């Protein structure tokens, strides 16, 4: 819920946490995909690196490549150890060339790591038995980590919100309003969806960047089966009141959106964020109502692609 009023001068800046520095060129704090456009550099890399976060946030291709490389790497390593201990310390390896034995020990390692353990090759001495006992333990724990991450990535909660490509300045009641539309891209339901809208804008007098929360006609919705048109009425209390299209470009405005919701898959709270820059705001336009098609089974269908559609209007 939005409780900030900004009546107090000293609270004008930095509520969002982006600081009030006025970069002399256009900056974008939030990328369109919701990631923050700021990097923290941490000199002592070991301290700052969050392996878990990184393994959850890399792409699936990177993750799978990493798993395969690790699997081959670990097996190569153990094959070298086994080979160093001596191929004659293994039952089932009768003579054979060195390269053939190495290859067989590589696969013996894979059979140990995955605990498949066919047994046609087996450790036949204390040293090789010890190493394979360690390897099978490492295998169990390593695969548990990998599969934990795999499931963690798979089940990671997210608010898959579709935002309209543009925000519009449209007629609203007796005046105009700043509007954008959102919809749920997934088949699950989002409940108790809340929205906050903030404006980051340069103050030409103080040469500082200011932040204002924009009051919404409604900031919570119980269900999101169709789309939700979020509306900020541009009345005389609005920081946008009296500003023209040219003004918000000159003052490098950014409209920052924070969405909080609950997915009904596991009743997890999820967050989504996005921002519009002035060139993504269409003036004197309104959103085309979504076409709602009744189905034979009594349900109603919408096409989520219609969310971007708007029509130009003449404003008084």
- Residue 17 within binding range of a second copy, rule CB under 8 A: yes
Distance, CA of 130 to CA of 315 (rounded, Å)? 82
Q: Which of 97, 205, 236, 299 binds a second copy (CB under 8 A)?
A: 299
Say whether residue 18 binds a second copy (CB under 8 A). yes
130 binds a second copy (CB under 8 A): yes
Kind of pairing, strands 281-283 and 167-172? parallel
Binding window for a second copy (CB under 8 A); candidates: 79-87, 103-111, 235-243, 246-254: 103-111
Total Cβ atoms within 10 A of residue 173: 10
Tell me whether residue 251 or residue 273 sits nearer to a second copy (CB atom): 273
Among 76, 88, 186, 313, binds a second copy (CB under 8 A): 186
Among 80, 85, 146, 243, which residue sits at the site for a second copy (rule: CB under 8 A)? 146
Stretch binding a second copy (CB under 8 A), from 78-86, 199-207, 235-243, 287-295 = 287-295
* Contact code string over 204-223 relative to a second copy, x by CB under 8 A: -------------xx-xxxx
The token pair at 298 is: 């009594």
Say how many C-beta atoms besides its own lie within 10 A of residue 110's C-beta. 18
27 binds a second copy (CB under 8 A): yes
Q: What angle do CA 53, 56, 62 make, to 5 degrees?
A: 120
CA distance 302 to 309: 13
91-107: buried (b, 16+ CB within 10 Å) or exposed (e) per residue? eebeeeeeeebbebbbe
Listed ranges 79-87, 110-118, 163-171, 241-249: which one lies at the site for a second copy (CB under 8 A): 110-118
Could you say whether residue 202 binds a second copy (CB under 8 A)? no
Residue pair 213/239 in contact (Cβ under 8 Å)? The answer is: no
Work out which of 165, 175, 268, 284 binds a second copy, going by CB under 8 A: 268
């Amino acid at each position: 819920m939005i409780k900030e009023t900004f009546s107090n001068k000293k609270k004008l800046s930095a509520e969002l946490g982006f600081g009030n520095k006025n970069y002399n060129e256009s900056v974008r704090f939030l990328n369109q995909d919701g990631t923050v456009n700021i990097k923290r550099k941490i000199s002592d890399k070991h301290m700052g690196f969050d392996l878990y976060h990184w393994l959850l946030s890399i792409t699936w291709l990177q993750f799978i490549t990493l798993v395969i490389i690790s699997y081959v790497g670990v097996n190569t390593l153990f094959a070298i150890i086994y080979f160093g201990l001596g191929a004659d310390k293994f039952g089932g390896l009768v003579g054979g060339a060195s390269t053939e034995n190495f290859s067989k020990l590589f696969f013996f390692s894979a059979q140990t790591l995955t605990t498949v353990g066919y047994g046609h090759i087996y450790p036949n001495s204390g040293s090789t038995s010890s190493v394979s006992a360690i390897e099978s333990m490492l295998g169990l724990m390593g695969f548990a980590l990998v599969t934990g991450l795999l499931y963690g990535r798979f089940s990671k909660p997210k608010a898959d919100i579709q935002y309209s490509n543009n925000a519009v300045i449209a007629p609203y009641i007796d005046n105009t309003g700043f509007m954008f539309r959102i919809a749920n891209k997934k088949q699950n339901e989002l409940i108790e969806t809340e929205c906050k809208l903030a404006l980051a804008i340069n103050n030409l007098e103080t040469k500082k960047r200011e932040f204002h929360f924009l009051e919404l006609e409604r900031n919570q919705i119980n269900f999101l089966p169709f789309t939700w048109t979020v509306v900020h009425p541009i009345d005389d209390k609005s920081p946008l009141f009296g500003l023209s299209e040219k003004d918000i470009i000159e003052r490098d405005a950014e409209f920052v959106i924070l969405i909080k919701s609950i997915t009904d898959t596991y009743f997890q709270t999820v967050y989504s964020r996005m921002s519009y820059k002035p060139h993504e705001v269409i003036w004197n336009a309104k959103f085309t109502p979504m076409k709602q098609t009744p189905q034979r089974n009594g349900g109603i269908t919408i096409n989520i692609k219609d969310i971007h559609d708007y029509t130009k209007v003449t404003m008084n």
